[in-house]
Structure 1
Amino acid sequence: MHKKVLAASVFWLMSGALASAEEQTLTISVYGFVQEEFTEALYKPFEAECGCKLVVETGNSIERLAKLEANKDAPVIDMAVFSLADALSAARKGLTDKIDTAKLSNYDKLYDFAKDPNGDGMSVGYTIYKTGIAYRTDKMTVESWADLLKDEYADHVALPNITTNQGGPVLNMIGKALGKDSPDLKDAMAAVGEKRDAFVTFYVKSSQLVQLMQQEEIWAAPMGHFSWAGISKLDLPIGWAATKEGDAGDMNAMVLVKGSKNQELALKFMDFWLSTPMQTKIAEMLIDSPANKEVVVAPEIAEKLTYGADVANKLTFLPAATTLDYREKWLAEWNTAVAQ
């Protein structure tokens, strides 16, 4: 009899614990792209492992940052992902907490530059990407970022607008090629401004580039490598330039929302996302390039990603603090030197 009572007690205790776990809800804020793929690769497997519910909110960075700020005193988001500049902006506004990396078993598997990308302990990089130059190998030779400014090429080149995520890094690389890579980007903008009437366009969406390439209106354009898959499918001789300055680098990072009631669960989700199996699966599905240096993928997958130590360690990262501190000055200078 006592054994039956004890067994029943254990059963109800276990049932109560499971019910409690099932009732846990983690709310995350992410970019809106490839969410079906993320659901298959990441969200559902995590829910199965934690026995919890994952609520996913999407939107652009401005909208998502605004929501964090509007709910600062009573957070409705537990964890978010942003660009490094937006992650730093959130930290400066007091919207995020330090991440206890001791609770991330996969932290040491990350590239060193992804571990604390803004140097404030408030973010962890989960995907990296490079920005380089896609170009027509039959029309031109590209050995330096400065080649985009040559008279014989400029009228077949598209450059990103300064308002895009690629704008600052591209100008930084052009400045580097000219030997004038100051954070105000003034010299690079002046050089671009001198040829502003020659360039085909200053694009605001990378999706424009596929059509421009296909119609042979452009021969070259700097772009994030996430756009390479679409460009490389064109029936044209297009290559990725191996410039002497290398490629620009950037990454997206995870942040922990200050005051969240589910920080422990958020840390578990972060760790799950950073794990070698998850980072490998996400890479193989061509969703994101891995920040986990232990990931191994086939060569045909690797060429479509920002992948491997040889590639990652040669990237030039424009500090997020530079982007934040100079963003308004860049726009003012761009309007004067380029957009006039």
Structure 2
Amino acid sequence: MKKIALMLVVVLVLFSVVSCGPKEEQSAEGPTELVISTWGYNEDILWEDVFKPFEEEHNVKIVLETGNNSERLTKLKTNPNSTVDIMYLAEAFAQQGIDEGLFEEIDYSKLSNGEYIHPKAQYIVDRNSGPAYTLNRAAICYDPNNVDIEINSWNDLWDPSLKGKISIPELSTTFGPSVMYIASNKAGVDITTDNGEAAFNELEALKPNLVKTYSRSSDLANMFSNGEIAVAVTADFAFDRIKDAVPDAKYIDPAEGGYINFNTINIVKGTENLDLAYEFIDYALSKEVQDRTSKSLSESPINTQVELSEEDAAKLTYGENVDKGNTIDYTFVNTVMNEWINTWNRILNQ
């Protein structure tokens, strides 16, 4: 009996060690680390409305790498030991990364919210690229007190009465390429057929109306308030600041439509957290998250299930503004950008 009792004790001890071991090991490992490369603005709101809820739901610790598009993409290109799993980028820069093989192709069957991406961004889905998760647009802002015409069309920018009154974005900025498309369309030429030759002819004709090109949209408010300019091609997110400086300022979509930029989320090739990266992207595309960020971050939703009030929609790119908006083919633009920059600087910056 003593032997049997002793054997039972040994078995119970061994069982308790085996059963407790994995639990202790699991708790010791802690949450999975997910490294996200993104812009550095509105971090406090992003943590509250996007990152923290995901961390709690998935037992994840999110680590951010921040900087502008160019800095972060260059860092990824030049660092073979990068730990970044997911990268937020504007469409032009995302396409650069795709062309250089830096990102995974996306299997949209793994994204339950992929079917709700706005049709305007469907071409990105069709390429199996990282999806658009929000968008913004370039249109025309003008001070009606300092112009002699009512502006309704992109072609109105060439009106002689606007001499010395206009600012346009630098070519290397998010909406710089849209100016090339605007000019080429004025000439009645498909820009992909002549690599922008007709556009540059039109920009040369526009030069008397230009005060300067700008790199920072935040500078526009001062330029308007000082009377330095009366018209600008600018992004929707810059208008509130201009409106604060010039209360009568108008922001209009020309008859031909504005130009849309999609901000995207891509998965870095070779990530060890592939499944988790898919989970995060699906979460970022969800109606719940997009509804929150449309209000707290003024991010225009890409999910067609999101319904905005008239007041909220007025501040964003939504509804008809998206439907009639124009897109830019960055698979083409990125192949000619270096040549364009040289010609642009020769014509407009000398």
> What's the TM-score once normalised by structure 1's chain length?
0.91
1:290, CA displacement in angstroms?
Answer: 0.9
Aligned partner of residue 283 in structure 1, secondary structure: helix
Contact 2:217 2:234 survives alignment (8 Å): yes
Q: In the alignment, is residue 59 of structure 1 matched against residue 67 of structure 2? A: yes
Partner residue of 2:162? 153
Q: In the alignment, is residue 316 of structure 1 matched against residue 326 of structure 2? A: yes
2:95 aligned to 48, 68, 88, which one? 88
Contact 1:249 1:315 survives alignment (8 Å): yes
Partner residue of 2:176? 167
Task: Select the structure that is richer in helix.
Answer: 2
Q: In the alignment, is residue 292 of structure 1 matched against residue 300 of structure 2? A: no
CA distance in 2 between partners of 1:229 and 1:134 (Å): 11
Pairwise CA RMSD: 2.5
Q: In the alignment, is residue 133 of structure 1 matched against residue 140 of structure 2? A: yes
1:9, CA displacement in angstroms?
Answer: 7.4
CA distance in 1 between partners of 2:139 and 2:163 (Å): 16
Contact 1:175 1:181 survives alignment (8 Å): yes
Q: After TM superposition, list the pairs within 5 Å mapping 1:1-340 onto structure 2.
A: 16-17=25-26, 20=29, 22-72=30-80, 74-117=81-124, 119-138=126-145, 139=147, 140-183=149-192, 184-308=195-319, 310-340=320-350
State the AA in 2 paired with 1:339.
Answer: N
Aligned partner of residue 317 in structure 1, secondary structure: coil
1:197, CA displacement in angstroms?
Answer: 4.2
Contact 1:158 1:200 survives alignment (8 Å): yes
Query: CA, structure 1 residues 37+164, in 2 after alignment: closer, same or farther (shift >3 Å)?
Result: same
CA distance in 1 between partners of 2:305 and 2:157 (Å): 36
1:6, CA displacement in angstroms?
Answer: 8.6
CA distance in 2 between partners of 1:334 and 1:217 (Å): 22
Aligned partner of residue 210 in structure 2, secondary structure: coil
Unaligned stretches of 5+ in structure 2?
Answer: 1-8
CA distance in 2 between partners of 1:114 and 1:7 (Å): 56
Query: CA, structure 1 residues 195+238, in 2 after alignment: closer, same or farther (shift >3 Å)?
Result: same
CA distance in 2 between partners of 1:117 and 1:262 (Å): 23
CA distance in 2 between partners of 1:214 and 1:128 (Å): 27
Contact 1:111 1:291 survives alignment (8 Å): yes
Query: CA, structure 1 residues 15+269, in 2 after alignment: closer, same or farther (shift >3 Å)?
Result: farther
Query: CA, structure 1 residues 142+198, in 2 after alignment: closer, same or farther (shift >3 Å)?
Result: closer
Contact 1:34 1:287 survives alignment (8 Å): no
Query: CA, structure 1 residues 12+295, in 2 after alignment: closer, same or farther (shift >3 Å)?
Result: farther
Aligned partner of residue 85 in structure 1, secondary structure: helix
1:223, CA displacement in angstroms?
Answer: 0.5
Contact 1:134 1:238 survives alignment (8 Å): yes
1:235, CA displacement in angstroms?
Answer: 4.3
> What's the TM-score once normalised by structure 2's chain length?
0.88
**Any idea what the Cα deviations from partners look like across 1:265-318, whole Å, max 9, x if unmatched?**
11111111111010010001134211111112221111111112x221211101
CA distance in 1 between partners of 2:61 and 2:123 (Å): 28
Unaligned stretches of 5+ in structure 1?
Answer: none
CA distance in 2 between partners of 1:98 and 1:171 (Å): 29
Partner residue of 2:6? none
Query: CA, structure 1 residues 63+118, in 2 after alignment: closer, same or farther (shift >3 Å)?
Result: farther
1:208, CA displacement in angstroms?
Answer: 1.1
Instruction: State the identity as a percent.
Output: 27
Partner residue of 2:5? none
Aligned residues: 337
